Structure 1
């Protein structure tokens, strides 16, 4: 009976929404439902025919009202709101922000769309294409139909570039094909395509820019089509137009380089250069009345030198690096023909500095993997030109409060205060000179930090950190970070009797408050192309490798298993190797639908002076950014489950190995509200047997020990902030007997006891990945 009611309700919703979308139309108006295109050619392969049909349908205009599950919710809300009496308020917002007005058939121009489709088909090589159009009315709705008979698609027989020419420019055009003549985009045997021809002209222009043809542009090239060379075949002849101006035919070199390093975008505010304000540094002429910057920063930033042949790569790299210094608000560049020499360019760089010193106050909402949500106050002071070499010095202090909204640790709030000092040099400081051909300036970074963390009713930790290393981006997608030395020292304070009693019996709790000393190099590599929004598939990859005290351990002969533990400053140093990989894949189904997936694999191996990984370097699973159907840091290790009184705080379960997989279908629902369906799986394991945690060691049965959960959520995405609400429940519990771990048959949303035990609500800020 309940199922019938749901079906009837959904049917009523569909009928109501459908009727309401047409009853508000004026007399004689028809709701436009969209266009269909039929490709009438039985000789064309089915896959090619469908692809052409989709391309043509996307060209028709106007675009009908958006549909979701067969409904047009935006149009429904537009009609539901009615005509608002004021230009603000809920009705105005619902009609104009959430809703959209009806797209009527009166806006359809069949002749215009027919011409567009005809032209597109011809541009794709269907020179004998013929398009007809018609429309169909059904009540107060109408559609447009187009039928295209494309005929045969013409193919390229030969691509002919200039040969035996006395013109240096035409020789250069031919040389853009490379030694083997394979670099061109136009290929014999491929279909004729006007878009490819345009792309080939742009490719040739880009290559010529690398050879000094500064004033050349794609419009000076023409591609002639000879359709008499064979049946349904064409020859393409690439030529330089006769009316190409002389300056576009010349190779230009760099002459003088001028840098205005304190330039105002308001030209009236710029002071006239005097003899005292002009400085010569190598090939550079620097104009600055304030002597703000050491000229060595330009020697490392600019790729051009006097006498170099102009090329677009060095042009763009120089601009990118000037911007990437983070010191200048505006960077402007001009090239002018020299008054002294022919075929020479004077380069001008106009740089507008940012304020040297600034202070910023931030109030943040935050969440972490332990299900703690809270706020933080940050005060940041910056000096962008500390030693006149574009060095960046930042000093920050912070304080925050984190509370667990749900879970057994509710009430054990966390207070954090601390500070950090960072100094960035816009170069690699090393005994050997390191050159970079990237548009991003490599940086050397030194950091000192301190944090005091107080966990109410439990303990406090003092954490001191320091590091020295390098940050380097190959390009916008690839980034390297190498810390030659990273030091962390953790010291406990104010350990309560409540915590110490449990720590005396649970070794994992004792490790949290043990003194820790970690020092060694770390390296991470990040690759991402997620900024390319138009790609169907995008990726994110981050690999991390870190080690602690390997050399020190070898030098001292430290071996905890023999009882030879070595201390530094009365603290046994940690010795381990740890690696972690985070891979994400984003599959875009449309502008508003995406499937996001993530795999995390990590392993840490303690040895020498350590029996276990230090607590802050161990792996955890479960929580708002992990497996959302389980409490934060509660999963594992392996099949182990801690038996803790329901009134006591829960220990964080950790491991030396980690595997997690998550996939999430994301769909924009309306305005700033997005929905998601997700599935998470994973666990952590120990490298060695631990009698206190039976079942925690990694084995060949690890796949059978995965925790699995699923759920649904909402995301309120207002760009500056994403508020995430997820409701999840477990499908598989690894700590149960092997035959009982799948719990799908126990799912019962109507049972209060099941909901209390299994439903987990996650309130978080930001997407999980």
Structure 2
């Protein structure tokens, strides 16, 4: 396989060399391909990528130094029509053969396909970037503009086109910049015609983006224009616009000092053919009218119902279906307050988040009862969505524990069920999937060996539902919601099968567009294993180790001498664990191996009762699906079992065989868990992105538990983690993934990925994944599994590789190949590049990007 890899690499290197020779084959004798731009400022080469991005021309896009799209473009024939004419229409021999073989319609379609393929090559590829005086001059002007906008008003620029002597038909362009001394902002004066605006400016001028003593920057002036517009429109000036703001700059004989004057004119007033100027005013909201069931078709109908609440007037064309206090609580525009843009935006956002109305229409008009023309009447038109909504979904997926899955589900939504904008939703779901691990453990003849059926009921309230007032802590502009849900699911997955019952009391609120908070005050889960007797059919490695130990013990085996599942296997464990050590005939290592197998079986087959509380903080600067540069930070903390533990003295719980307290016959879990996840994307331009991720998590059992429920542990490997290992195959520590499903209660993961465009919708990626899982502060005593100090960081696994993706716009199909670069399961000194080849690589298929 190593020889095969070397042959493949040699083939691609030769291919690149051959194609590189033809990069300029389509150029005319007097044309040169642009291969490099260089910018020099005062004789020193500029390295700032922001400045290079201002140039009108950039060399053809390169992937790992290779202009792939240019070569794709060169595959197209520039005169395809004349070639086809000469080859197939004017060549009588070929023409006759094809017409005898094909019908005229097929012959025409054949020629058309040739033309379409040629067009696709051009469209997918990238035309050669040619050096010429006109485009270089445009780049020079853009360069001059960039320096001017950053304060170098006396900048001088020049350029030179330099053909490369050692490369045919190629040239580079050097740009020469002499910035001279920059201009510094000195005095800042104002000419604000409106007294109201002048007062607002003086009260808030300390926040100005234009600072005396700083170097001139056009962006600062743009930011100041935006700031002033927001300031005025959020302080009552509802008809203010940026066009009224201008700046006058004086640089004559000022010794590179810039004296600025901020000019804000009065409002234009058009009356007939005459135009006059009137001062801006501060406007107040005098009335707020809410039309709760407005539709365009009944805009001229008679209103039949109305209500008032805290200054709001609500109208309805039919009988009022909403509680007035619920509607008014979603409106931030209040009678008696001044006009604010933020109140309008918050009202839009809150009403949309309710999922009860279509996008609202908010209109402002001057109050006809106010002679000063300062009062505004606000009319809010709400169009209800249907009270009942039925939805269905179907999807095909791939995840860490299933190679192929089909999911389906449905939902039934009742809007405004109690008249207070509450939504009640019933949903059901089902899925079937394939997992090779599960198939091998139970029924090799069944492709779909994972099934799940579940149902949920969720009630959403547009407020924080608590016996205490939370308005001061979580004001309504944070869009608070209370969500109460009940759920049930039954799964046939890794062979043990289980049922899960859940109940959640959740609160969410959003202090800003980027920040989300979620608090599960109660998150109760009861997990019941339905098929624990199938344990050793699933975990074959554990069974084989147990069987080998049994054959070397004093335990009487049947003929053939193999432990039966489950009875004999369980009997042997009880024989070893319950009897005195010397009577088993085992050495100390075998005894403790049986003990480990017993404890793991006990943990993976026991039922779980999790009575938890958790809080999640999410900061995400990504504003849209197509944002290429953003940051995402998530922090989660969870505790479980503390409330039940506090009640133990009052309720006098029973205890199980291990001495743990039981509630409804199940030992409840007690632990503390935290996770930190940070993702950062950098847009490098030209369809190139560098993405990085860092994750750390730890779950510590205490009190009524000495281990973590398996649903709350961590695993390593898989298409969204360390792609050089299969899911659940990595770790713990340096143990070498000796179990079928490896998990632990501590995890570190770091990922870096360089993404780049290839051809059309095809994308490429190079990645490095680092991480591992360990056991810490629990009942696992095997040294290879445990994290005992910073010295164990040498057990971090490193995977590297490359991937190919196809972007369907609404999702990305991903294929990655991961190679084991540093394998902690190998012996010290023999861990780097031990199995770095295609035969030991892991091939991952995924949906969307891993982070």
TM-score range, shorter chain: 0.7 to 0.9
TM-score, with length taken from structure 1:
0.86
Q: Give CA deviations for 1:219-260 in whole Å, capped at 9, x if unaligned.
A: 222322222463111211223236766565211111221223
**Residue 209 (structure 1) aligned with residue 246 (structure 2):** no
Corresponding residue for residue 746 of structure 2: 657
Mapped to 1, the partners of 2:267 and 2:325 lie a distance apart of: 44
Greater shift in the superposed pair: 573-582 or 726-735: 726-735
Deviation of the 1:365 alpha carbon = 2.2
RMSD: 3.6
Q: Give CA deviations for 1:197-231 in whole Å, capped at 9, x if unaligned.
A: 23212212211222212222222223222224631
Question: Does the residue aligned with 1:316 lie in a helix, a strand or coil?
Answer: helix
Q: Give CA deviations for 1:471-520 in whole Å, capped at 9, x if unaligned.
A: 11222221111111111111122445554636765432342221211113
* Residue correspondence of structure 1 range 236-635 to structure 2 within 5 A: 236-241=260-265, 249-264=280-295, 267=296, 269-290=297-318, 291-341=320-370, 342-370=373-401, 372-404=403-435, 411=444, 413-435=449-471, 436-437=474-475, 439-455=477-493, 458-497=495-534, 498-499=536-537, 501=566, 505-531=597-623, 538-557=630-649, 564-635=659-730
Change in CA separation of 1:635 and 1:7 when aligned onto 2, cut-off 3 Å: closer
Deviation of the 1:449 alpha carbon = 0.9
Deviation of the 1:533 alpha carbon = 8.9
8 Å CA contact 1:438, 1:474 repeated in 2 = no
Q: Give CA deviations for 1:723-764 in whole Å, capped at 9, x if unaligned.
A: 222222323343444x255142x34638xxxx2xx3222222
Question: Does the residue aligned with 2:519 lie in a helix, a strand or coil?
Answer: strand
Change in CA separation of 1:144 and 1:604 when aligned onto 2, cut-off 3 Å: closer
Question: Does the residue aligned with 1:353 lie in a helix, a strand or coil?
Answer: coil
Change in CA separation of 1:578 and 1:120 when aligned onto 2, cut-off 3 Å: closer
Structure 2: gaps spanning 5 or more residues: 82-110, 270-276, 538-564, 574-596
Corresponding residue for residue 683 of structure 1: 773
Deviation of the 1:65 alpha carbon = 4.2
Give 2:756's match in structure 1, choosing from 646, 649, 667: 667
Mapped to 2, the partners of 1:336 and 1:367 lie a distance apart of: 54
Change in CA separation of 1:99 and 1:383 when aligned onto 2, cut-off 3 Å: farther
Structure 1: gaps spanning 5 or more residues: 644-649
More helix by share: 2
8 Å CA contact 2:670, 2:703 repeated in 1 = yes
8 Å CA contact 1:438, 1:475 repeated in 2 = no
Mapped to 2, the partners of 1:651 and 1:55 lie a distance apart of: 51
**Residue 220 (structure 1) aligned with residue 244 (structure 2):** yes
Q: Give CA deviations for 1:353-407 in whole Å, capped at 9, x if unaligned.
A: 3333222222222233335431211222223332333322222211112223589
Deviation of the 1:428 alpha carbon = 1.0
8 Å CA contact 1:735, 1:741 repeated in 2 = no
8 Å CA contact 1:273, 1:287 repeated in 2 = no
Corresponding residue for residue 170 of structure 1: 198
8 Å CA contact 2:411, 2:426 repeated in 1 = yes
8 Å CA contact 1:18, 1:71 repeated in 2 = no
Mapped to 2, the partners of 1:174 and 1:604 lie a distance apart of: 54
Aligned residues: 737
Corresponding residue for residue 713 of structure 1: 803
Mapped to 1, the partners of 2:131 and 2:390 lie a distance apart of: 57
Mapped to 2, the partners of 1:212 and 1:567 lie a distance apart of: 62
Mapped to 2, the partners of 1:130 and 1:748 lie a distance apart of: 54
Deviation of the 1:175 alpha carbon = 2.1
Mapped to 2, the partners of 1:324 and 1:88 lie a distance apart of: 52
Change in CA separation of 1:591 and 1:248 when aligned onto 2, cut-off 3 Å: farther
8 Å CA contact 2:57, 2:139 repeated in 1 = no
Change in CA separation of 1:93 and 1:726 when aligned onto 2, cut-off 3 Å: farther
* Residue correspondence of structure 1 range 9-158 to structure 2 within 5 A: 10=13, 13-14=16-17, 16-17=19-20, 19=22, 21-24=23-26, 30=31, 33=34, 36=37, 38-39=39-40, 41=42, 50-51=47-48, 57-61=52-56, 65-82=60-77, 83=80, 86=112, 91=117, 94-95=120-121, 97-102=123-128, 108=134, 115-132=141-158, 135=161, 146-158=175-187
Mapped to 2, the partners of 1:288 and 1:222 lie a distance apart of: 46
Deviation of the 1:134 alpha carbon = 5.7
Corresponding residue for residue 647 of structure 1: none
* Residue correspondence of structure 1 range 634-645 to structure 2 within 5 A: 634-641=729-736
Mapped to 2, the partners of 1:345 and 1:311 lie a distance apart of: 12
TM-score, with length taken from structure 2:
0.78
Corresponding residue for residue 824 of structure 2: 734
Change in CA separation of 1:55 and 1:688 when aligned onto 2, cut-off 3 Å: closer
Mapped to 2, the partners of 1:636 and 1:508 lie a distance apart of: 16
Structure showing greater Rg: 2
